[in-house]
Structure 1
Amino acid sequence: MRELAARLGVNANTVAAAYRILRERGVIETAGRRGSRIRPKPATTGREQLRVEVPPGGRDLSTGNPDPALLPLLAPALAAAAEQGDRVPVRYGDDPVDAELARLARAELDADGVPAGPLTVTSGSLDAVERVLAAHLRPGDTVAVEDPGWGSLLDLVPALGLHTAPVGVDDDGPRADDLRRALESGARALIVTDRAQNPTGASVTATRARALRAVLRDHPGTLLVEDDHGHGIVDLPLHPLAGVTRHWAFVRSAAKAYGPDLRLAVLTGDPVTVDRVRGRQRLGPGWVSLLLQRAVAHLWTHGAVDRAAVAEAYRARRAGLVDALAERGVVAHGRSGMNVWVPVPDETGAIARLLHRGWAVAPGARFRLASPQAVRITVSPLAEEDIAPLADAVAAAVRPSLARAYG
């Protein structure tokens, strides 16, 4: 910095301030004694841009959307919420969390073993994660993230001026040894998807949860964020990690089970974390619409979604595709949720060959940091008669003899 200040003829403090602004805006990244460098792409350049154009008449299996046929009708819930709002209008200064929504959410969290803690509501899972990270971390801090992992999250972390430390994932969740290495290397936070992990379908097992808790106990200062967006569409039990560290947050959204347009997630955590999130929220949007909160509470209380039936529908499609691929010598992953992850030797070639056969899948580059190449297939649009022709197309695109090497 002193050298640059002398070359430009400005004060060293000016250069230091410029570096800080560039780092906070995600233009540069710093690596201690190794210095600073320009990021390979702007933090605001989203992985969502890595989309595949679906040819006319093609089938789009790339979106990650739920099956519309499994989503409830929203009109009755919205009408009931509006009627309640007409009787008791919302005023500035009211409690930002609907009491009935909080009661229902807390009961389910208790049943799943999530520790007691205050509760608030955010505009979806990603909003919750962003607010929690901003409440505790500063630009330059490192966050341990799943690899492969949710593409939007992998964009969000650097957009906040933070670094990512990849933690490998298998069918049972994040690998404990990888997490230990990340934390010992200085990662200050960990983000975990408990079930229906995007893109692999991983679900944290009881054994893996014990191993991850053991690692976290050795690093009690780690900020732990858990995302359980699969609640309501998964038939596997939850094994939460919450409470092991001093600061933690546990998030559940309504999007996958009740519809993506329901931008609502319930957030619980330690008192300091939730208080900071609420405080910052008051300075921006103020609160998530009570009309929306009451509509979600109505959906919950009136059994608008048959959770067991929805979970079974997605399970049958995933298992059908995974089994059909296995019969054709192709390794695939998908323990829970609505996606199947297929390792491939060449993403570009596999996607092109599938497009030629009329199937559009998501490139693994949207979800990867350092993990091997793969493609993600969303099973939501599939019918039983689609499984065999899709498996044939994937097998031809992947070249099974090479795909086995990724198992």
Structure 2
Amino acid sequence: MLMKASSQSLTEQLAGRFSERIRHRLLAPGARLPSVRQCAEQHGVSPSTVVAAYDQLLAQGMVEARKNRGFFVREVGAPADGQASAPVGPQGIHVAAHWIVARRSSAPVNATALIRGMFHKISDKPQPGMGVLPAEWLESTFMPAAVRKVTGTKMLHDVSLQYGEPLGDTSLRRALATKLAGLDVPASADQIITTIGATHALDIVSRTLLRPGDPVMVEEPGWAVEFARLTALGMHLLPVPRRADGPDLDVMAKYCAVHKPKLYVSVSVLHNPTSYCLSPGSAHRLLQLAHEHDFHIVEDDTYSHIAPPHASRLCSLDGLRRTIYVGGFAKILAPNWRIGYLAAPRPLLEQLLDTKLLGTLTTPALLERALALCIEQGQLRRHSERIRTRLDLARARSVKLALNAGCRFAAEPAGLFGWVDTGVDTDALSQRMLDEGYLLAPGALFHAERKPSTLMRINFATTQDAAFWKKYAELVKRM
């Protein structure tokens, strides 16, 4: 609460609270501040105090006033008077291609708001908006043992004093080839390239196959980080509605006829944020469309470790001809090891490898070799099984609490995430919950263009706390 006895005025305290959140990107560019009346009620101050605080933020260039609409966090690079001009990127370079695309189809919500929330600890409470499992869920004895094994021998000297293999550690690529064979994805070790996490793998594919201005089909709702990353590269996003069985193929066909897209980015299994899984029929029709219109598909299988058995994957049905498989281990094993990989058609391998070499040269062989041991000895598989069992129990508890709090699930609960309809504007709700120490993931984050949403994504592992749902219900009732 704001303190009347503080050395700062209530106006200064309120402006400082919003200013800190904007600096830490807990309030994303484009986010709407609460109305004067709502803010006054929420913080127990007079409307004139709120007006004065918003005026301070306006003077500092942190927000902008939009006639008859309210106050909004300034977009990165947006001029104070609201006139269009190209934003400035690192080293003072004007991001011309990005700006052209963004002005044509509204820049996506700044996904770094959620990412920064992962690193900027706002409280000790479980965080419903987080995209990862709790650290205590990932603890194991086999990971440290694997690291000790690869660093306690001559191997440490051999792999530390020279660059690693361009494609990645051979032992890991062989282990990954075996793992993919279990998913019916036909990839030999020499078709696999290791990367610094799955996001790096997606970036390699984009930088190899695309040029600024190229049209790219993305799922909507979809992964906010991917929207922001592609937009930063200057791509023209084409949002495809994601349904329970897969993408809206009619919309895709129209895009193909008009824009001739070069790439489609998909999370086929346990889609983020809905947890939908692609149906075999939809997968077959999608691959026919890709063949007919000559575009590639990059399939992000980030959640494969917690996926249901026999889930349909495009790469399995296609045999890595028009598809590129992307995977990683941050969600299930070791986020800070930053190990990901891609498996690609042979004709694309050299181009993809060139892009990797230009960006990172090689990847850390020590951790790759330690991961290979965890896979070869079956420890990763057993660990994943334990996580799935624990997640199933957590999901059941979270769903019950959410329903009791008045939520409705917009998609059948599955996997790590729930797609929840709250019935209120979740942008506004997220700001109120932030005051209570909870970071939410409002629905606007998962759309290529910002628009109000009553939906939010919850993490089933971090929403088992009845105290969170009690506070949630209280605040929703007031909205």
Output the TM-score relative to the length of structure 1. 0.79
Q: Is 1:49 aligned to 2:126, yes or no?
A: no
The SS at the match of 1:261 is helix
The SS at the match of 2:359 is coil
User: Which of 21, 25, 28 is matched with 2:100 structurally?
Assistant: 28
Paired with 1:213 and 1:113, the residues of 2 have a C-alpha distance of: 16
**Between the two proteins, what is the percent identity of the paired residues?**
25
Instruction: Specify the code of the residue in structure 2 equivalent to 1:308.
Output: E
Deviates more, 1:307-316 or 1:45-54: 45-54
User: Which of 369, 387, 408 is matched with 1:310 structurally?
Assistant: 387
Paired with 1:143 and 1:212, the residues of 2 have a C-alpha distance of: 15
Q: Is 1:377 aligned to 2:458, yes or no?
A: yes
Q: Is 1:299 aligned to 2:374, yes or no?
A: yes
Q: Is 1:85 aligned to 2:155, yes or no?
A: yes
Instruction: Specify the code of the residue in structure 2 equivalent to 1:85.
Output: M
Q: In the alignment, is the contact (CA less than 8 A) between 2:97 and 2:213 conserved in 1?
A: no
Deviations 1:332-378 (A, max 9, x none): 23644322221344113333454566643222222212576121212
Measure how far apart 1:147 and its partner are. 1.0
Matched with 1:110 is 181
Deviates more, 1:77-86 or 1:321-330: 321-330
Matched with 2:127 is 60
Q: In the alignment, is the contact (CA less than 8 A) between 1:247 and 1:273 conserved in 2?
A: no
Paired with 1:177 and 1:308, the residues of 2 have a C-alpha distance of: 38
User: Which of 178, 201, 210 is matched with 2:284 structurally?
Assistant: 210
Instruction: Specify the code of the residue in structure 2 equivalent to 1:168.
Output: P
The SS at the match of 2:265 is strand
The 3 A distance-change label for structure 1 pair 262 and 25 is farther
Measure how far apart 1:108 and its partner are. 1.7
Matched with 2:430 is 351
Query: Unmatched 5+ residue regions in structure 1?
Result: 1-20, 31-36, 403-407
Q: In the alignment, is the contact (CA less than 8 A) between 1:123 and 1:264 conserved in 2?
A: yes
The 3 A distance-change label for structure 1 pair 365 and 169 is same
Paired with 2:421 and 2:446, the residues of 1 have a C-alpha distance of: 12
Q: Is 1:274 aligned to 2:349, yes or no?
A: yes
Q: Is 1:364 aligned to 2:443, yes or no?
A: yes
Instruction: Specify the code of the residue in structure 2 equivalent to 1:337.
Output: G
Paired with 1:327 and 1:215, the residues of 2 have a C-alpha distance of: 43
Paired with 2:212 and 2:437, the residues of 1 have a C-alpha distance of: 44
Measure how far apart 1:113 and its partner are. 1.8
The 3 A distance-change label for structure 1 pair 96 and 353 is closer
Deviates more, 1:329-338 or 1:286-295: 329-338
The 3 A distance-change label for structure 1 pair 319 and 138 is same
Deviates more, 1:154-163 or 1:305-314: 305-314
Paired with 2:243 and 2:169, the residues of 1 have a C-alpha distance of: 38
Measure how far apart 1:394 and its partner are. 4.5
The SS at the match of 1:60 is coil
Deviations 1:356-403 (A, max 9, x none): 6664322222221257612121222344xx2x554555455557xx9x
Deviations 1:291-346 (A, max 9, x none): 12101112212333422221122233224323443456532236443222213441
Measure how far apart 1:226 and its partner are. 0.5
Paired with 2:165 and 2:434, the residues of 1 have a C-alpha distance of: 52
The 3 A distance-change label for structure 1 pair 98 and 395 is same
User: Which of 176, 190, 212 is matched with 1:139 structurally?
Assistant: 212
Paired with 2:258 and 2:408, the residues of 1 have a C-alpha distance of: 32
Q: In the alignment, is the contact (CA less than 8 A) between 2:426 and 2:443 conserved in 1?
A: yes
Q: In the alignment, is the contact (CA less than 8 A) between 1:252 and 1:265 conserved in 2?
A: yes
Matched with 1:342 is 420
Paired with 2:303 and 2:283, the residues of 1 have a C-alpha distance of: 17
The 3 A distance-change label for structure 1 pair 206 and 136 is same
The 3 A distance-change label for structure 1 pair 283 and 359 is closer
Deviations 1:253-306 (A, max 9, x none): 011111211211121111122221111222332111111210111221233342
Matched with 1:241 is 314
Measure how far apart 1:110 and its partner are. 1.6
Q: Which gives a bigger RCO, structure 1 or 2 (Cα 8 Å, sep 6+)? A: 1
Paired with 2:240 and 2:135, the residues of 1 have a C-alpha distance of: 33
User: Which of 119, 123, 127 is matched with 2:196 structurally?
Assistant: 123
Query: Unmatched 5+ residue regions in structure 2?
Result: 1-92
Q: Is 1:174 aligned to 2:247, yes or no?
A: yes
Output the TM-score relative to the length of structure 2. 0.68
Measure how far apart 1:114 and its partner are. 1.5
Alpha carbon RMSD of aligned pairs, Å?
A: 3.2
Q: Is 1:184 aligned to 2:247, yes or no?
A: no
Matched with 2:136 is 69
Q: In the alignment, is the contact (CA less than 8 A) between 2:301 and 2:325 conserved in 1?
A: yes
Paired with 1:26 and 1:389, the residues of 2 have a C-alpha distance of: 43
Instruction: Specify the code of the residue in structure 1 equivalent to 2:112.
Output: E
Measure how far apart 1:162 and its partner are. 0.5
Q: In the alignment, is the contact (CA less than 8 A) between 2:240 and 2:251 conserved in 1?
A: yes
Q: In the alignment, is the contact (CA less than 8 A) between 2:156 and 2:366 conserved in 1?
A: no
Matched with 2:29 is none
Q: In the alignment, is the contact (CA less than 8 A) between 1:361 and 1:377 conserved in 2?
A: yes
